[in-house]
Structure 1
Amino acid sequence: MKKKVHVVHHTHWDFEWYFTNHESFVQLSYHMDEVMSALENNLIDFYLLDGQLSIVDEYLQSFPEQKERLVQLVKAEKLFIGPWYTQTDELIIAGESIIRNLDLGITIANELGGYFKAGYLPDSFGQGKDMPKIYQGFGLDKTVFWRGVPNDVTEDREFMWQSEDGSKVLASNIKNGYFVGVGLIYSDDAQDLMEVIESGATSDQLVLPVGGDQRYIDFDLRERIELYNNQLDDYELVESNYDLFFDSIDEDKLQTVEGEFISSSVSKIHRSIYSSRYDHKYMNDKIERRMIYQLEPLMVLAETQGIPYKQGLLDRIWKLLSKNQAHDSAGGCNSDKTNKIIMERFIEADQLSYSAVDYLTRKIAESREEVKENDLVFFNTLPFSRKEIIKCSISLMSEDFDLVSNGEKLTYQLIETKKENSGSIRKNPEEMDPEKFYYIHDLLVEVDLPALNFTTIQVVEKSKSEEISNQAMTHGIENEFYHVSYSDGMLHLTDKVTQEKYFNFLTIEDSGDEGDTYDYSPPYEDDVLSLNFNEAAVKVTNGPLRNEMKLSGEWILPKDLEERSNKKQTQSVSYQLIISLDNQKNLLDCHLTINNEALDHRMRVLVDTKIASKKSLTNTPFGTVEREVVDAHINDWKDLGWREEPTTIFPMLNYVNLHNETSSVTCFSKGIKEYQIVGDNYDKIALTLFRSVGFLGRPDLIRRPGIASGNEFKYIPTPDSQLQETLTFKFMIQLDESFNEAKVMKDFQKQVVSVPFYQIQEMNRFTTTLKYFVSNPLPTNTQAKEFLECVSDSLVYSSLRKSRSGDGIEIRLFNPSLTDSCEGGMIELSKGMSYQIVDLKGEALTSLKNNDKIDLGSFKPGEIKTVKLF
C-alpha cells in the first residue's frame, strides 16, 4: 500500500520583516489576483493564506470589490484563511492579547465565509505551554507549527499536545520548516524529499507544505506532483489541505506531550530575542496593561453609568497591537525602517488608549450628582478592592491645601509644586496677568478604592500649610518590611521580617554583544564589567507615605567591541536609580534610567537572592512554568547538531521567582522580558535590561554558529537597534517566606495597574489633551455604586470586558498552579444577575443560573474559566 503525501500549497506572508508591510502590500495586491484566479480556474485545488487575517483585512480595505469573490472561495473550502489576525509571538505577549488576536481573526474571517480551524503558527520562535487550552477555548483542536520541540522529548511529527488542565490538541510539527516542500518544485530527487518528510511521521499519511516567504503561486504544482508520482513506487502525492491530512490521522495511536517548546535541537529558536529592541517591548507592555486592566474594564464601568461601550475603538487599538505582536515584530528582528513603523503604531495605540481612559474618567467625574470645584475622583479598574498610595497632580489657586475624605483629613506627601499661568502667553513673562497664576502640585495620597468603582475626595484650599515637609536623610530608607542602605558604592538590603541581610544585593553587569537582533552572543574577545554605584550622588527622602533613595552617576564603559577587546573604557553612560518603599507594602520598587551611548553591549541587573536554585519559575499567559537553570545539553549541543547554544536565557511576562522551603524572592518587571539565573550557586536573578546591536543578522556567532539568521546573503545594518537613547526600566523586588502564584500576581496587578484620576477644575485646561475640548455631562447623573467584586485567594484575574456579541459582560480568571487544583472562590454581585460559564469565543458551556453570588467552583491546574453576566 502506498504512503499518501498530502501536498499543502501555501504562502508564509510575514506581516513585516526586513521589508515593511507597506512594501509587501504591493506584492500582496497582485498576489491575491493570482491566488483567486488559480483557484477559480482549477489550476490548483486548495490554498492556505498563511492563517492570518491582517493581510486580508488590509487587502479588502483597498479592494472592497473583491470581497464577494474571496468569500465564494472561502465558502467552497478552496481558500483557507485565519484563524489569527497576525501570527502572534507566544512567549512574551500577554494571554489576553493572544485571545484578542484570535478573536479579531475569527470575527473577520466569519464575515468572509469561515476560518481555518487550526492554530496555525508555522514560524513563531517557540511554542507557549498554554496554547492547547487557548486553542480549545476557541474550539480549535488542531495546531501546526515548526520551531521548538526538543528531540529528547519526541521526534514524532504528530502528537497530542496537552496543557496541565487536560486540554489537548492534535499537533503537526513541521520539523524541517514550512518551506520544506519547495523541493518538490526545484528538485527532481523525489526519493530524497520523501525520506526527509517521512522522518518522524507516525503513519503512512505524510504532509508536504509547499510554500515560502511571500511566495507566489506554483502554477506547475500538478506537473511536479505527476513527475514525482511517476518516479515513486511507495508514495502517492495528492493536492490536499491540513483538514484532510488531520482527518487521516488516528489520534489514539499518538503519544501525548506536555509543556512549552523552546529547544534549539531542530531549529533556531532565538532564546535571547526577548531583549532585542527593548524600547518596543516597553511600549507593548505598557499598552497591554492599559488595555487589559484599565480601558476594557473602565468601558464596562462606564456603560453601567450610561456611556456606550465602544467595541470599534477597542478593535482599532487591538489591531495596532496585534500587528506589532506578530513574531518578527514582537521579537524586534526587523530592519530599522520597519521598526520605525512599529513604533508609530505603538504611539498611535498609546494615544488612543490613553485618551479613551481620559475621556471616560472625565465624563463620569463631571456627570456626578453633586459636582464640586476641586473634587478629586479616583477610579479602580480592578475587580477587587485596594488601598493604594497614588501619585497624582492637582491644579489650585492656592499654594497650600488639605485633602479630605468623609470629613477627615488625609495624609499626603508633596513631591513638587510648580507655578503656572492660565492667561495668554507673552514673550515678556512680566506682561502676563498676575491674577491668573496658579499652582500644580504633584503629590502622593493613600486612598481606599472599592472594587470596579470610583471614589471622590475633596481638595480644600487654605492659606497656610500644616503639612510636614519631607525630610532628607543620608543613612537609608525603610518601611516595616525592608531597610535599604548605601555605602562604598554598594546597596545593602535587610529583610526586617526575617532579619536576613543581603550585602551588595543589586548590581549592574555590562558585557559585549557581538550578536544581532535575533540573538545575544558574547564577543570572541569580551570584557565583562561588574558595575556598582561608586561616586554616585545620593539623595534620600523620607516622607509620611513613601521613602525614596535616588542615586545618580555615570559608568565608564567600552565604547565599542574594539575597545572591549583591548580592555579599554572611554564611554560615559549616565544613570539614575530611584528605589522606593511605600508604607505597609511588601515591595521594593526600582526605577532605573540609563542614557546609553555605548555600542554592541548588553546590560543586566543582577539581584542576589541567596537561594541556591536548580529551577526558576515565571508566569506564562495563563499559568506558571518551571525551568531548569542549567540546560542538560549545554556542553554537548554542538556534537548533537543543535542549531544554537541552549543557554538558559528565558522569556518572562511579569515576574521570575526563586524559592526554597523558607525563602522566596520574586523580581517583577514592567517591560523587561528576559531573565537568566546566574552566580556560582545559581542564586542570582539576572534581568536583561537591553541589548545594543547593529545588524539584523550576523554569521558565525559563538552561540549560533553558521549562517546568519534573517538574510544569510547580506549584512543588513540596523543602527537604531543600538538603542543610543535614554532608556527607562521599571522592576520590583519582593521577599517572602513562601511562594504563592496567585498572591504574587495579585500583588503585581495592584502595583502596576495605575489608578486613573480626574480633578474638577477649569483653570488648567491642559491636564490632558482632551481637557481642552468642551464636554457635556451625561443626561443622567453617575453614581459610585457597587457592581461586582472577585473574592478569591487562589485565582488570577485575567480580564473584564463586554462580550463580542454585545449581550453580556465576561470576566475571566485562571488557576496559575502547575500541579494543584483549587477552589476558586466567589464573584459577588450588587444584585441578582443571570450568568453562565462560556468558552473563549463566548459560547455557553453551562446552563444559565441567577444569583447575586457566583460560586466559581473547583479549578484544575492551569484551568481558565470565563463567566458571562447578563
Structure 2
Amino acid sequence: MSVTATKQTAYIISHSHWDREWYMSLEEHRYYLVKLIDDVLNQLENNPDFHSFHMDGQTIMVDDYLEVRPENRERVEKQIKEGRMVIGPWYILQDAFLTSSEANLRNLLYGKKDMERWGQEGGIGYFPDTFGIYGQAPQILKQANMGVAAFGRGVTPTGFNNQVFQNEYSSPYSELSWEAPDGSSVLGILFANWYSNGNEIPVEEEAAKNYWNKKLEESGRYASTKHLLYMNGCDHQPVQTDVTTAIERANQLYPDVQFKHASFQEYVANVKNDLPESLQTIQGELRNQKTDGWSTLVNTASARIYLKQANDHSQTLLENYVEPLGLFASDRSFYRSYTEYFWKLLMQNHPHDSICGCSVDSVHREMATRFEKVSLGAQKFLEEQMQQVTQTIDTTHNNPEAIPLVVFHTSGKQASKVVKAKVMVKKIYFEEMDFQKIPEKLNSEELPEYVMELDDGREISCDVKDLGVRFGYDLPHDGFRRPYYGREVEVTFLQEEANRVGYNCCFLIPHTSRGNKESLIWNSKEKRLENETVVVEIHANGSYSLTDKRTNHTYPLLGIYENTGDIGNEYMYKQSSDGNAITSANEVADIEVLEDSPLSAKIRLHSSLTVPLSADEQLQKEREKLIWHPERRAGRSDETTVIPICTTLTLDKGANGLKVDVAMDNTGRDHRMRALFPVGGKAEHHYADSIFEIVKRPNEPEQEWTNPSVMHHMQRFVSMNDDRFGLTIAGKGLHEYEIIDKDTIAITLLRAVGEMGDWGVFETPEAQCQGINHASFMIIPHESSVLESKAYLEAYSYPYTPPVVQDSQHPGELPKTGTEFHWEGDLALTSVKVAEGESGTVLRWYNPNNHPVTLSLAYPDAAECYLSDVLEQKNDRLGGTTINRTVNPFEIVTLVVTKKKEKE
C-alpha cells in the first residue's frame, strides 16, 4: 500500500509491556513500575494532548503500584474511570498453553471484575507476547463480548531479541480473521512489526524524517486499511514524556498523514469501518507452524518442570476440590472471597516469563513460595470447609465402634477410584493423661480387623495398614488448640461413583477376620502386574510392556529413558553437536515391592544412567558471545556422572491404565531426559489436550520447518493411534512431548540448562535442576482414538481422588448420601463453582467432538437453569430440575443454576 495513496491516520498508543518479573525479581521491577505510573499520572493530568496510556492488558499493575503508593488511589481511579488509563481485560498476562482451561478463564473473569470495580468497560483480547495462543481463544473472546484479538506471536516468525522476520506471513495483512474450531471468529490484529514499532519517536526534524520514512513504509506494507498502528513502548519502557511534541513534528512533516495520540478502542473502531470485503482466515492454534521452528519458544514447556508440577497441583486443588465444595457452603460470600484470593495468588505465577520458567533464579524461588502458600492455604481451607459440612450430616450407626468416613465427590467426573485415607482409630488428648505415657498406651493395644460398610449397607473389603502413633491437634471454633496422640491407620478401599457432585457416608467397622481370598495384582514369579483390564510385564532393563485385555493388544518396551545434551537455554532446546542419545535399553533394574494387596500393587524399579557431566567448555564461550542457539556447536564433556532413577509402577483394582512415578537424582548439567512410548502404526496425526480442545496435530511439521526437533505443548495428555489401537499418556505438570518417526511418543521429564537466553547474558544455575526431580504420568491403552474410545475421560480423571473426612457419630440434618447434580453426555466437565456476584452455581463443559452431543443434567434442587457465557452472565432460560441441551461441535457451554433455597 502506498503511503500517499489515501489520507492515512497513524495511531500512536503509549504503553509499556510489563513483564511483572523476568530478568529482575518482582520487587526490582516494581521500583520501575512505580516510577512509570507516577510519570503516566503526571502526563494524564498535565498534558491534555496525551490521550491515554495502555496498561498492557492487565489489572494487576494497578494493584502492584498502589501497594507502594496508596495515597494515589483517587488519582488512579479518576484516570481509569475516564478511560485514559486503560486496564484489563486480564488480571495478568499469562501463558496460554501452560495454564489450565479454567485458569485462562479465571484470569479473564477476575480481570473483568477488577475493571468493573475501577469503573471501566470494554477491552480487547490482548496477547502481545504470548508464546503461542490456543485455538479456542476466539470463542472465549466472543462469549466475553470481545470481538478483537491483538497478538505478536503465532502467525509471523520472530527471532533473536524479538526481531520480526520480514518474509511471508500466514496472512498478507496485519489484520486478519481468526476462527476457533466451533466457527467463532474475531478480528485479529497482528503486531506485524512488533509491539514496539512506535517506540521512542524523535522530535528533532531530521531524525523524525528518517524514523517515519522507515516506519510508514513498514506498517503500510501490511496494513489492509489506511489506519496504521504504532505502539509507543516496549518491555518495561518508561513513558515517552515528549511524545505529543514528537507527534506535532510528524504532522508538520507529513501533511498526507494524520498522526494522533490515541487508544486501542479508537484505532480498532476505525479499522473495523474500513476493512476490505475479505480477509485471510487463520484457523485454530497460533503456534508459528509455518516458520523454521527455532523461535517458537515451545521448550519453555520443559524449563524448570518443577514449577509446572506445582502449578498443576494447585490448579487441580482449586478446580476439582475447593471450588466444587462451595456448593455445600453455608456462607457462599465467604467462599467466593477465599477462592478469588487463592486464584489471584496462583495467577501471580502465571505470567509468560514466570510459569514458562524463563526468568532469573530469584524470580522462580519466589514462585515456589507462592505455590506453597496456595497449596497449604487452599488445603487447610478445604479441610475446614469439609469438616463444617460433615457436622451437618447424619453419621449415626447402630454399631458405636463404627468410624464414619464421609467421601466427597467434587470433580463431577467418573470417580471409580482406589481411595487411601488416613484414619485415627483412637485418640487420647493431652488433657486426659500424662502426654508422655500416651504413645506407650496406644502402641500396646492390638488393632482389630476392619471392614468397610457403604451407605447402602453393603460391606466391601478394605486394606488397613498400621501407621503407628501420630501427634495431632484439634482447633476448636470456640476454644484453644487441643493436642493429642492417636493410633493412625491407612485405609484403602474402592469407591465407585458416576458423574455427580455430592457425598456419601461409609463406615470403618471392626470385624472378625474372614481371610483374604481375593487374588493379588502383583505376580512376583512372573514379574507381572495384572488387574481386570491390563497386564504389565516388567523387563530386566526397567522398561515394561502393557497388554490391554479388552483388545489383547500389546504395547512393548514402554518407558525406556533417553538422555541427550542440551546447549540451548530456558526458551529453546538445542541438542549438543555430538548428536548422541544415551538410553536405558541396556541397563539393569532391580525390583522392590512396596505394596501388594488385592486393591493395589506398587513396584519400584531401581536403575541408573551414566551420562556426560555437562556440556563442554565451548558452551560457556557461546553463551557469553550471545550466539543464538541454532548456531551453537558445543558438545558434551568427557567426564561422566551417574543419574540414579527410581521408577514406581502402580496398578489399582479396576484401573484402565498404569500409573508411573519417576524420581531422578539429577547430578548432571546441560541435558534433557525423556521417556519413550512406542505406539506403532506410523500414524499421520496425533491428539493433544489443549485449552477447551483436544487438538489434532500432524506428526510432521510444515515444509518451512528446519529445526531437527518438533516439540509440542500438551495440557493433560497426548495420544496417538492407528486404525485399531491407541495409547494415551496423561501427565501431571508434564507439558512437552514430541512424536518420533510417526510411531513413538517422547515425554520430556527433565531439562537442565544454565542460562535464561533471549537478549543478554543471564546465567541461571538453578535451571540446571540439580537434585531429586519427579515426574508422574498414567499410560492408558484403548481402542481407536482417544476421542472415539472416550479415553480422554480417564485421562482427565487421573489426577483426582475423592477426598475423605473422618468424623464422629452424630445426628444431622443432611442424609448419609447427598447429590447436588448428575449429568450424562460425551463431554468434558471443566468447572463446578459458586457463581460470582450473586446466587447460583456455575457448571461448564466443552464438546471435544466434531459432532453434536446431548447434555443431560439432573439438578433436583434447581429452581431455574440459564445458559450463560464464560463471564457467567445469564442469557437464555433453559428450565429447572432437568435439562437436555444439544452442545454443538467444539462448543464451550456454561450453565448457571439457581437453587430453590440458595445459601448465602
Q: Does the alignment reach a TM-score above 0.5?
A: yes
Q: CA deviation at 1:313?
A: 0.8
Q: CA deviation at 1:138?
A: 1.3
User: Of the candidates 503, 520, 527, which is equivalent to residue 573 of structure 2?
Assistant: 520
Q: CA deviation at 1:454?
A: 1.2
Tell me if structure 1 keeps the 8 A contact 2:778–2:798. no
User: Of the candidates 455, 458, 461, which is equivalent to residue 507 of structure 2?
Assistant: 458
Residue of structure 1 equivalent to 2:420 = 391
Residue of structure 2 equivalent to 1:738 = 784
Tell me if structure 2 keeps the 8 A contact 1:130–1:620. no
In structure 2, relative to structure 1, the CA distance for the partners of 1:384 and 1:827 (3 Å cut) is farther
Q: Alpha-carbon deviations, 1:92-150, whole Å to 9, x = none?
A: 21111011111111111111121451011211111211111111121111111101105
In structure 2, relative to structure 1, the CA distance for the partners of 1:849 and 1:672 (3 Å cut) is closer
Residue of structure 2 equivalent to 1:494 = 547
Q: Are residue 290 (structure 1) and residue 317 (structure 2) matched? A: yes
Residue of structure 2 equivalent to 1:684 = 744
User: Of the candidates 526, 531, 535, which is equivalent to residue 479 of structure 1?
Assistant: 531
2-structure distance, mates of 1:139, 1:316: 25
In structure 2, relative to structure 1, the CA distance for the partners of 1:25 and 1:465 (3 Å cut) is farther
Residue of structure 2 equivalent to 1:757 = 804
Q: Alpha-carbon deviations, 1:141-187, whole Å to 9, x = none?
A: 11111011054521320012111212221111102221121153495
**How high is the sequence identity, in percent, across the aligned residues?**
23
Q: Which moved more, 1:724-733 or 1:64-73?
A: 64-73
Equivalent position amino acid for 2:13 in 1: V
Residue of structure 2 equivalent to 1:427 = none
Q: How does 1:248-397 map to 2 (within 5 A)?
A: 248-249=270-271, 250-251=274-275, 252-263=277-288, 265=291, 268-303=295-330, 309-371=334-396, 374-384=403-413, 386-397=415-426
Equivalent position amino acid for 1:230 in 2: Q
Q: CA deviation at 1:323?
A: 1.2
Q: Alpha-carbon deviations, 1:41-66, whole Å to 9, x = none?
A: 12511211111011102223443332
Residue of structure 2 equivalent to 1:158 = 175
1-structure distance, mates of 2:510, 2:202: 79
User: Of the candidates 573, 577, 589, which is equivalent to residue 659 of structure 2?
Assistant: 589
Q: Are residue 603 (structure 1) and residue 685 (structure 2) matched? A: no
Q: Alpha-carbon deviations, 1:211-266, whole Å to 9, x = none?
A: 01221121111222233333335433211121111111234443322111111739
Tell me if structure 1 keeps the 8 A contact 2:172–2:280. no
Please, which runs of 5 or more residues in structure 2 have no aligned partner?
Answer: 1-5, 157-167, 427-445, 474-483, 618-633, 900-904
In structure 2, relative to structure 1, the CA distance for the partners of 1:369 and 1:724 (3 Å cut) is same
In structure 2, relative to structure 1, the CA distance for the partners of 1:72 and 1:808 (3 Å cut) is same
Tell me if structure 2 keeps the 8 A contact 1:665–1:736. yes
In structure 2, relative to structure 1, the CA distance for the partners of 1:590 and 1:516 (3 Å cut) is same
Q: Are residue 9 (structure 1) and residue 23 (structure 2) matched? A: no
Q: TM-score, normalised by structure 2?
A: 0.85
User: Of the candidates 412, 426, 429, which is equivalent to residue 462 of structure 2?
Assistant: 412
Tell me if structure 1 keeps the 8 A contact 2:863–2:897. no
Q: Are residue 720 (structure 1) and residue 720 (structure 2) matched? A: no
Q: CA deviation at 1:458?
A: 1.3
In structure 2, relative to structure 1, the CA distance for the partners of 1:56 and 1:14 (3 Å cut) is same
Q: Are residue 790 (structure 1) and residue 823 (structure 2) matched? A: yes
Tell me if structure 1 keeps the 8 A contact 2:80–2:120. yes
Figure out how many residues of one structure are paired with residues of the other and give that number.
814
- Any idea what SS the aligned residue of 1:59 has? helix
Equivalent position amino acid for 1:395 in 2: M
Residue of structure 2 equivalent to 1:213 = 235
Q: Alpha-carbon deviations, 1:676-708, whole Å to 9, x = none?
A: 0013xx1000111121011111xxxxxxxxxxx
- Any idea what SS the aligned residue of 1:339 has? helix
Tell me if structure 2 keeps the 8 A contact 1:473–1:539. no
2-structure distance, mates of 1:533, 1:276: 28
Tell me if structure 2 keeps the 8 A contact 1:51–1:116. no
In structure 2, relative to structure 1, the CA distance for the partners of 1:117 and 1:441 (3 Å cut) is same
Tell me if structure 2 keeps the 8 A contact 1:299–1:310. yes
Q: How does 1:529-548 map to 2 (within 5 A)?
A: 529-532=582-585, 534-540=587-593, 542-548=596-602
In structure 2, relative to structure 1, the CA distance for the partners of 1:501 and 1:778 (3 Å cut) is closer
- Any idea what SS the aligned residue of 1:192 has? helix
Tell me if structure 2 keeps the 8 A contact 1:364–1:782. no
2-structure distance, mates of 1:371, 1:326: 49
Q: CA deviation at 1:307?
A: 7.1
Tell me if structure 2 keeps the 8 A contact 1:419–1:437. no
Q: CA deviation at 1:497?
A: 2.6
- Any idea what SS the aligned residue of 1:391 has? strand
Q: TM-score, normalised by structure 1?
A: 0.89
Residue of structure 1 equivalent to 2:737 = 675
Tell me if structure 1 keeps the 8 A contact 2:152–2:190. yes
- Any idea what SS the aligned residue of 1:688 has? strand
Equivalent position amino acid for 2:561 in 1: I
1-structure distance, mates of 2:7, 2:472: 86
Equivalent position amino acid for 1:217 in 2: V
Residue of structure 1 equivalent to 2:629 = none
Q: Are residue 554 (structure 1) and residue 604 (structure 2) matched? A: no
Equivalent position amino acid for 2:466 in 1: T
2-structure distance, mates of 1:779, 1:566: 67
2-structure distance, mates of 1:832, 1:242: 43
In structure 2, relative to structure 1, the CA distance for the partners of 1:130 and 1:566 (3 Å cut) is closer
2-structure distance, mates of 1:369, 1:518: 55
2-structure distance, mates of 1:807, 1:779: 25
User: Of the candidates 67, 71, 76, which is equivalent to residue 77 of structure 2?
Assistant: 71
2-structure distance, mates of 1:354, 1:7: 48
Residue of structure 1 equivalent to 2:433 = none
Q: Alpha-carbon deviations, 1:495-540, whole Å to 9, x = none?
A: 3233333332221111111111111111123431011473321135
Equivalent position amino acid for 1:669 in 2: G
In structure 2, relative to structure 1, the CA distance for the partners of 1:460 and 1:311 (3 Å cut) is same
Tell me if structure 2 keeps the 8 A contact 1:631–1:647. no
1-structure distance, mates of 2:513, 2:873: 61
In structure 2, relative to structure 1, the CA distance for the partners of 1:124 and 1:191 (3 Å cut) is same
2-structure distance, mates of 1:634, 1:254: 23
Q: CA deviation at 1:83?
A: 0.8
2-structure distance, mates of 1:345, 1:787: 33
Residue of structure 1 equivalent to 2:432 = none
In structure 2, relative to structure 1, the CA distance for the partners of 1:261 and 1:533 (3 Å cut) is same
In structure 2, relative to structure 1, the CA distance for the partners of 1:345 and 1:441 (3 Å cut) is same
Equivalent position amino acid for 1:815 in 2: N
Question: Aligned-pair RMSD on alpha carbons?
Answer: 2.6
Q: Alpha-carbon deviations, 1:818-862, whole Å to 9, x = none?
A: xx231322110124521110111222221x354220112242334
Equivalent position amino acid for 2:335 in 1: K
Equivalent position amino acid for 2:657 in 1: L
Please, which runs of 5 or more residues in structure 1 have no aligned partner?
Answer: 425-435, 638-644, 698-708, 763-776
Equivalent position amino acid for 2:493 in 1: V
